[in-house]
Structure formats: structure tokens, C-alpha cells
Amino acid sequence: MHIAEIIYDTTFVITTGIVLIALGLSRADIKNGGDVKRCTKRVLILAASSGLVSGIPIFYGAMWLFDVTGYYVNVGHGEIMGAAPLFNLVLGIALAAVGKILLQWTSIKW
């Protein structure tokens, strides 16, 4: 596995972790009587911004850090340079959509 792939996978883990933390905190806020719409909006904003943050500065910063320390980061033809921010943003938005469904979920009462 190349260093670029490790960095790429790490940014996915960071995005997923931030969104899951935001979902957990929002769910706790809703259980304590918080507004569902405000919590879902907060999760959507945090998810999209975490995708952008881990896709652009963290990904490029980690690649630069490996390059400065002397490890060559092979990016092939450069597709990963554009794919990392885009896929992290899409992952954040997809997780936010699932989170919106889960935050508005109410159990059926017979």
C-alpha cells in the first residue's frame, strides 16, 4: 500500500469520526429536549465542513509532511489529488443524509 493511499484512507476515517461524534452529540441534545431541525442542520454543516477540511488541508498537509521528511508520495497521474477532497465531501454529505434520517427517527407506538 502506498503512502498516498494510507493518507487517503485516514482522511475517510477522520471524516467519518467527526460526523459520528456530531451525530452522537446531536442525538443526546434531542433526547434532552433540543430542537430536531437545529440539530440536523448542525450535523449537515459539520459533515460537509469535515469532508472539506479532511479532504483539502489534512490530505495535502499530510502529503507535504511526508514529502518534507523524505518519503516519496506516489500519486500516479494525479487523480487522487482531485478525488480526495471530492470523495470526502460526498462521504460527509452522505453520512449527514443518513444522520438526518436517524435523528428524526421515532419508534412506532402501538
* pLDDT score of 13 more than 90: yes
pTM for the structure as a whole: 0.84
CB–CB of 50/15 below 8 Å?
A: yes
Distance between CA atoms of residues 35 and 94, nearest Å = 22
Distance between CA atoms of residues 103 and 18, nearest Å = 16
Predicted confidence (pLDDT) per residue in 20-40, tens digit = 999 999 989 988 988 888 988
Domain ranges of the chain: 3-103
pLDDT average, residue stretch 48-74: 89
Mean pLDDT, the chain, as a whole number?
87
